[in-house]
Amino acid sequence: MVLALVSHPENCTGCRFCEMICSLYHEGVVNTKKARLRVLKPDLLRDIPLVCTQCLTCGDSCCIQACPEMAISVVDGLVTIDEGLCSGCGNCKKACPYGVIWMDKLAHKCDLCGGDPMCVKFCPSGALTFEEADEASYTSMIATWRDE
């Protein structure tokens, strides 16, 4: 068991503070497109925070397999991009079904802010939590996304 970011769409108000704060914390600018998570809004009734920390076992669209440099791996339970190995080809971003990898010259994804995720701090409604997530709960979280 490791600590993971867990999304609870039933609590999400759709305010997107998480996206703003993620980009400001990591990139020093506010730009929701540079956030390492995003809130999917398929319609009026649904706001779904998409996050990736534990390997989501994305099957055919696996970022780990898509990376020709083998720069992506699971380190201490966290899917991690080794930016020293990244060539910036963008294959992982194309592969990612949840759109939570963004590219400038290199690929970037959630690194849990070094162990104290800002998005969770700024989510008073409890749509994002940082908790011990077993495989079953993570699988069910992904299942709600896959319906979209």
Q: How far is the CB of 2 from another protein (least distance, A)?
A: 25
- 124 is a site residue for another protein (CB under 8 A): yes
| Complex with another protein: residue 12 or 66, whichever CB lies closer | 12
Q: Least distance to another protein from the beta carbon of 13, Å?
A: 4
Rounded Cα distance, 44 and 46, in Å: 6
Q: Please compute, for residue 146, the number of CA atoms within 13 A of its CA located in the half-sphere on the CB side.
A: 11
What's the rounded Cα separation, in Å, for the pair 103 and 2? 27
Residues near another protein (CB under 8 A): 10-17, 20-21, 24-25, 27-34, 41, 43-45, 47, 118, 121-122, 124-125
